[in-house]
């Protein structure tokens, strides 16, 4: 699971609830959570304070070269437990998500620009009203959940995705079909149009 933390920290209680809920799985190695805090140390510190035991089990990744090596190794290796990414450099902070998304089975995200990536998504509650459209589009395409507008719904949906095989398989099947149809090629198309 990859959870990319956004800007101002409005989702701190939700993120802490997700980590707290996953702690038994993270401790026994039956799940992995890649938690990219970006450059938001205050959110990192808040989550670590709110979730007993999280700071003790977290593997910390704060060096860009080491983060890149971790992502490369995760492509063929096994990852479990809690991995926390926190970078002072804004480039590393943001780009770490791009590396980690390649090795993730599920992305937990507010319906931001990440809503348009070809990876199964669990849409967290939006922070800004304009973000609603990312979750609507993801649900229409069938590559993500509808927006989970509360902590209990988020945790229930997360449990379904971890326990049942049909949701994740359905999202992956849709992603493969959508990818073949070129749905995720918007940036390539923009470049082609600019070059014409």
- pLDDT score for 57: 97
pLDDT of residue 2: 97
Kindly indicate the confidence band of residue 130, based on its pLDDT and cuts at 50, 70 and 90: confident
Residue 182 neighbours by CB under 8 Å, 6+ apart: 189
How does pLDDT run across 152-165, given as a tens digit for each residue? Answer: 999 999 999 999 88
| All residues at 6 or more sequence positions from 53 whose CB lies less than 8 Å from its CB, including other chains | 23, 27
Do residues 76 and 70 touch, judged by C-beta distance below 8 A? Answer: no
| Burial class of residue 164, CB neighbours in 10 A (0-12, 13-18, 19+) | exposed
Mean of pLDDT values over 138-142: 90
pLDDT confidence of residue 18 = 97
pLDDT, mean of residues 140-168:
93
Say what the pTM is.
0.92
In the predicted structure, residue 7 carries a pLDDT above the cut 70: no
Question: Per-residue pLDDT tens for 20-57?
Answer: 999 999 999 999 999 999 999 999 999 999 999 999 99
Is the sign of the CA dihedral 28, 32, 37, 38 positive or negative? positive
Tokens 């199964």 locate to 120
Which residues of the chain form beta strands (DSSP E)? 2-4, 32-36, 59-61, 81-85, 107-109, 121-123
User: If you average pLDDT over residues 136-153, what whole number do you get?
Assistant: 92
Percent of the chain exceeding pLDDT 70 equals 98
Angle (CA) 57 117 160, round 5°: 55
Strand order from edge to edge, sheet including 59-61: 59-61, 81-85, 32-36, 2-4, 107-109, 121-123
Please tell me the predicted confidence (pLDDT) of residue 112.
82
Query: Residue 122: what pLDDT?
Result: 95
Tell me the pLDDT tens digit for each residue of 50-104: 999 999 999 999 999 999 999 999 999 999 999 999 999 999 998 999 999 999 9
Give yes or no for residue 139 having a pLDDT over 70. Answer: yes
What pLDDT shows up at residue 127?
80
Q: What is the pairing mode between strands 2-4 and 59-61?
A: unpaired
Q: State both tokens at 129.
A: 């009203």
């Amino acid at each position: 699971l990859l959870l990319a933390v956004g800007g101002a920290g409005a989702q701190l209680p939700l993120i802490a609830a997700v980590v707290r809920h996953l702690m038994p799985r993270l401790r026994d190695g039956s799940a992995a959570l890649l938690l990219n805090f970006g450059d938001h140390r205050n959110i990192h510190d808040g989550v670590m304070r709110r979730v007993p035991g999280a700071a003790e089990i977290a593997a910390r990744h704060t060096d860009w070269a080491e983060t890149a090596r971790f992502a490369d190794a995760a492509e063929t290796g096994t990852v479990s437990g809690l991995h926390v990414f926190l970078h002072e450099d804004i480039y590393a902070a943001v780009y770490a998500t791009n590396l980690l998304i390649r090795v993730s089975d599920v992305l937990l995200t507010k319906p931001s620009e990440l809503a348009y990536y070809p990876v199964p998504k669990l849409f967290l509650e939006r922070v800004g009203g304009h973000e609603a459209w990312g979750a609507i589009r993801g649900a229409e395409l069938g590559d993500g959940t509808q927006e989970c507008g509360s902590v209990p719904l988020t945790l229930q949906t997360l449990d379904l995705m971890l326990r049942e095989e049909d949701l994740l398989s359905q999202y992956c099947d849709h992603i493969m079909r959508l990818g073949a149809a070129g749905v995720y090629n918007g940036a390539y198309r923009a470049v082609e149009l600019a070059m014409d």
